[in-house]
């Protein structure tokens, strides 16, 4: 997709995930919205994949470590053609395979995730295996910033640096909020970039809600040969819905009818503006 098309698609991703949450009456709204630009760029521009053959041996691998924000993941998989978009209407319903965390019974999902701190460890193992098999596939993982308090993240970070995994790209959705408040109040993370660099990673900080920066960063990996890449994507929790932006309580929440209709109308207007914009 072109940059303009990716911006439009990101709005459609937000519309789809908000609709899922509203109709299911459950979901992790804030983080799904903050990471929608990243998810859109990955699945519509960056990852090497084949929706008609999800287990294609040459594919890039993606692990959603912050698995509670599955709504955006499901939205991009459906739109990309891994399963029919109509199935999104079954999200969190009885007997649906579209549940509140990634489920590897769904095409395009490699691993069941959501116990925070596990995604990077899984990704490091995949990247080591690919190196040993002399394959050129890449591994991408998206983590939350609250997740950085998990010790297993740093064990995996140490291993990735040690094994010089330049086929591994980790992204942190740095929206500065977690379920119980500010990340810096709950467990201070800064200086975050310096900490990752000390573990042997090459680090780049970007505006994770600016599609041009997201695409430029993700298509420039590895940032340095023989080093794993970390992208710290500074985002806004609840991005796109003004009443939700930078509000910790929207980590998990369902909009009422009025807020939902207002948000969807705003997304529709933005979508039209982007379609009509001249680059």
Q: What pLDDT is recorded for position 74?
A: 98
Token pair recorded at residue 58: 């040459």
80 touches 72 (CB < 8 A):
no
Give residue-wise pLDDT tens across range 59-83: 999 999 999 999 999 999 999 999 9
Instruction: Report the DSSP beta bridge partners of residue 147.
Output: none
pLDDT of amino acid 114: 85
d(CA 101, CA 111): 10
> CATH assignment of 3-276?
3.40.50.970
Strand order, beta sheet including 229-234: 61-64, 139-144, 168-174, 229-234, 202-207
Q: What confidence category does residue 20 fall into, taking pLDDT thresholds of 50, 70 and 90?
A: very high
Residues 91-127: tens digit of each pLDDT: 999 999 999 999 999 999 999 998 899 999 999 999 9
Count of residues making up the chain: 279
| Per-residue pLDDT at 279 exceeds 60 | no
3-state secondary structure 58-99: CCCEEEECCHHHHHHHHHHHHHHCCCCHHHHHHCCCCCCCCC
**51 pLDDT higher than 80:** yes
């Amino acid at each position: 997709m072109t940059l303009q098309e990716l911006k439009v698609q990101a709005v459609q991703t937000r519309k789809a995930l908000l609709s899922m949450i509203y109709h299911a009456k459950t979901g992790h709204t804030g983080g799904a919205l903050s990471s929608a630009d990243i998810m859109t760029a990955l699945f519509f521009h960056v990852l090497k994949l084949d929706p008609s053959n999800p287990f294609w041996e040459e594919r890039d691998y993606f692990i959603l470590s912050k698995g509670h924000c599955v709504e955006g993941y499901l939205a991009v998989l459906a739109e990309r053609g891994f399963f029919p978009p109509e199935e999104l209407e079954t999200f969190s319903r009885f007997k649906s395979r579209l549940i509140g965390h990634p489920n590897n019974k769904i095409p395009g999902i490699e691993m069941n995730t959501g116990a925070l701190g596990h995604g990077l460890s899984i990704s490091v193992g995949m990247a080591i295996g690919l190196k040993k098999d002399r394959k050129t596939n890449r591994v991408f993982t998206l983590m939350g910033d609250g997740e950085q308090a998990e010790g297993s993240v740093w064990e995996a970070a140490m291993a990735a640096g040690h094994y010089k995994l330049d086929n591994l790209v980790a992204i942190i959705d740095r929206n500065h909020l977690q379920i119980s408040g500010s990340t810096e109040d709950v467990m201070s993370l800064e200086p975050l970039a310096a900490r990752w660099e000390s573990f042997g990673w090459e680090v780049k900080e970007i505006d994770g809600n600016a599609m041009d920066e997201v695409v430029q960063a993700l298509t420039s990996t590895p940032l340095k040969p023989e080093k794993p890449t970390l992208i710290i994507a500074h985002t806004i929790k609840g991005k796109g819905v003004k009443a939700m932006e930078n509000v910790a309580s929207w980590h998990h929440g369902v909009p009422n009818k009025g807020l939902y209709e207002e948000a969807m109308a705003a997304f529709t207007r933005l979508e039209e503006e982007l379609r009509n914009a001249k680059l």
